[in-house]
Homo-oligomer: A and B are copies of this chain.
Amino acid sequence: MRVLIADDHGIVRSGIRLLLERQSDIEVIGEAADGAEASSLAIRERPDLAILDVKMPKLTGLQATREIKRQAPEVSVLILSMHDDERYLFEALKAGASGYVLKAQADTDLLAAIRAVERGEPFLTPEAQRTLIRDVLERGPGGDEDLTPREEEIVKLVAEAHTTKQIAEILHLSEKTVENHRANAMRKLGMRDRVELVRYAIRRGLIEP
């Protein structure tokens, strides 16, 4: 089984490589330190599996996943996520990842995840499964409360401390339109003011703190 490892931390790549090379049937065919490198390497080398960290420079693991799945759909993707961070789970699944492993559990779950992917099965850690179930229950059946691109763009600008007027000028819109998009985004997310929006934007990685 040919595997690609992508993580911006050399230390983490070493740890994973160490873990995988104890398996006789797994061969690490490459490493990447950012998302762009990861996707181009995966598309060129067509490994059986690409293990991608969520948080990487240039392209995030999720963006890289979309790119890989578009140009080389036969490559399976496992998303590796930092600490107890399950917030990208949905995005990962939507992007076409076969599994989602938290780094805190990586040393025990990663091999299990690889074996599952090898058999063509999806893999979610018990925590991820719980998150998925909780969220489906929260959103109600079928309800997909995603922000539209325009809403996300405006949330980003709001979180960067631009006023409604400034945003209207930047995007060449009326203040009213900006206000409507902001209000719609807040309603979808169940938030009451710009402060909550800022924290949302930072959690989502839309802006830097």
Contact = CB atoms under 8 A, between A and B. Distances in A.
Contact of A55 (B8, B12, B83, B158): B83
A19 interface: yes
Interface of A: 8-16, 18-19, 55, 82-83, 87, 103-104, 106-108, 110, 158-161, 163, 192-196, 198-199, 202-203, 207, 209
Contacts of A82: 82-83
Nearest to A33: B104
Nearest to A194: B195
Closest 4 CB pairs of A and B: A10-B107, A15-B15, A11-B15, A202-B209
Given A55-B83, A161-B195, 11 more contacts: A8-B104, A9-B103, A9-B106, A9-B107, A10-B106, A11-B12, A12-B12, A18-B18, A82-B82, A160-B195, A161-B196
Contacts of A158: 195
Nearest to A200: B209
Nearest to A104: B8
